[in-house]
Structures are given as structure tokens and as C-alpha cells.
Structure 1
């Protein structure tokens, strides 16, 4: 089961995408990707959820109030670097597209209005590519572990981080203490 995150400030777009992905099989290379879809209209809430929930793919709108798609995907990439990232937009801003590719590492730009078949195929291809890249990384890490160029601790840290994004991050306080919830302390 592939878990995907969709972020768009327009509720109608979110409903349309959820409906499309619920009724259309997501297949690539003969493999079917059953989907679990989480959708948010607020990028900050989506990031908060992404801190606790691992995703295989994220699809974000480009222009949103408060935080644009590039800024959102950059932050998402910090939390979950192994998830595929796609951007959706009704605008063709070349500089914004270049920033999305270079800064946020998107795999593909999808134009609004989208073609249903192309969108689902793009998602399936991105999931297949990401799965292959993750498998390749796992095999490479196992080889480095056997060779001794990767420690058992680093191997385990990478494995845990892939399963539960954010689990290996530590937030240090100014006095050297470990902060369990840095957001809760911002109001102090």
C-alpha cells in the first residue's frame, strides 16, 4: 500500500483528486499501487502530519497562501527525503519551476487542468521509480555494511528513519538539554 500526501489550498481540487485516485487503478510496469490518500488544504498542517506519518509520494500545489509549494516541498524533503515529490500548478512560472526542481527536488511538474490518465500514470511512475531507488539504496547500504564502510549504527539509523521519518532527529536546547517538543516551547 502506497501512502500519498496531497496539499492544495482549494478544497474542490482535493476532493477531485481524492475521487480520481479512489476510482482509478494506479499501475506502472504491470505493478498495481493501492493508495492511501491524505489531503490537506493547509501546508503547515500537512508538514505537522508528515513529521509523524511516512509517505511514499507528495503532490503539492505550486501557489498557496502562506507557504508556496516550493517552500512546502523543501521542508517536506527535510522530513522525508525518500518520498517522491510532484508539483501541480495552473501557472507556468519558469523561475518557480526551476526552484522546485533545484531546491525541492521535484520529479515532475503537472499542469492544471490535468489529464486524469496522465496524472495517475505520473503518480504510478513516480512511485515505481521511488521504490526502485529505495531498494537500490537498501542494497548499497547492505553492501557498505558488509564491507565495513558503513557502521551497524548508521545502517540501523537509516533503516529506522525510513520506517518512521523524524525518529532519529534530536532537538537540542540552548543549554544542551534534549527538547522533546520544540514547538511547545516556542510560546515560553
Structure 2
């Protein structure tokens, strides 16, 4: 199941996207994706969700109150760097598109109103690309272990760090004890 978080300040857009994603098939090549869709009308609320739940794909409107879609996706990328990212916008701003590609590494910029087929295709392609990147990382780690460049423990620590940033960091007290409260750390 692929988890998607859609952020748009217009509730009607979110409802339309939810309806579409519920009924339209999401495929790429011979791969079919089952989607679990979450929505937020506020990018700040969406970032809070991203801090507590893992998503495979973020879809964001470009123009929103609190922050624009590029800023939202930049923050979301910091929290979940392996998630795919799409911008959905009714504004064809070339500078915004260039900024989205350069700063956030979006997978696709989709215009509003969208074509259902193109949108579903872009979602399927983004999810398939994400899966391929994760698989390539796993294979590269296996090769590094085989070559002796990494230990299995290092690979596992990196995997855990990607899942829960900070989990592998230990804060030591001056007396050699482990500090559990970050406020007590340097």
C-alpha cells in the first residue's frame, strides 16, 4: 500500500482528488499501486503529519497561505527524504517550476485543471521511481557489505536512521552515562 499526502488549501480540490484516487487505477508498466490517501488543507498541519507518519508521496499545491508548495516540499524532504514529490498548480510560473526542480527535486509539475489520466500516470511513475531508488540503495548496500566497505551493522544503522532520524545518535554525559533527555545534551 502506497501512502500519499495531498496538501491544498482548497477543500474542494482535496475532495476531487480523493474521489479520483479512490476509483481510478494507479499503474506504471506492469506495476499496480494501491493507494492510501491522506489530505491536509494546511502545509503546517501536513508537516506535523509527516513528522509522525511515513508517506511514499507528497502532492502539494503551489500557492497556499502559510507557505508555498516548494517550501512545504523542502521541509517534507528534510523529514522524509525518500518520499516522492509532486507539485499541482493552476499557475504556470516558470521561475517556480525551476525553483521546484532545483531546490526540492520534484518528480513532476502538474497543471490545474489536471487530466485524470496524466495525473494517475504521474503518480504511478513517481511511486515506481521511488521503489526503484530504494531497491537500488539496498542492492548497493549489499555490494558494499560483500566488498568489505561496510559492515552489516553500519547498513542497519543507516536504515534505522532513515526511518527514525536521530535514533542512532547517543548523547553521552560527562560522567560516561547516556543522556536520554536532549535538553541535557551539549
Q: So what's the TM-score if we normalise by structure 1?
A: 0.86
Is the CA contact (8 Å cut-off) linking 2:87 and 2:106 kept in structure 1? yes
Aligned-residue offset at 1:151: 3.8
- 1:100-148 deviation digits (Å, cap 9, x = unpaired): 1011110110000000111011100111111111101111012112222
Structure 1 residue aligned with 2:182: 179
Which consecutive residues of structure 2, in runs of 5 or more, have no partner in the other structure?
A: 172-178
Is the CA contact (8 Å cut-off) linking 1:52 and 1:165 kept in structure 2? no
**2:97 counterpart of 1:97:** yes
Instruction: Between 7-16 and 148-157, report the one with greater CA deviation.
Output: 148-157
Distance verdict in 2 for CA 1:21–1:142, change over 3 Å:
same
SS of alignment partner, residue 110 of structure 1:
strand
Matches within 5 A, 1:1-188: 1-162=1-162, 164-166=163-165, 168=167, 178-179=181-182
Q: If you compute each CA radius of gyration, which structure gives the higher value, 1 or 2?
A: 2
Which consecutive residues of structure 1, in runs of 5 or more, have no partner in the other structure?
A: 181-188
Aligned-residue offset at 1:154: 3.1
Aligned-residue offset at 1:165: 4.4
Aligned-residue offset at 1:158: 2.7
Larger relative contact order (CA 8 Å, sep ≥ 6): 1
- 1:135-186 deviation digits (Å, cap 9, x = unpaired): 0111101211222222434311332244x343637698xxxx6438xxxxxx
- What number of residue pairs does the alignment pair up? 177
Distance verdict in 2 for CA 1:153–1:133, change over 3 Å:
same
Is the CA contact (8 Å cut-off) linking 2:4 and 2:56 kept in structure 1? yes
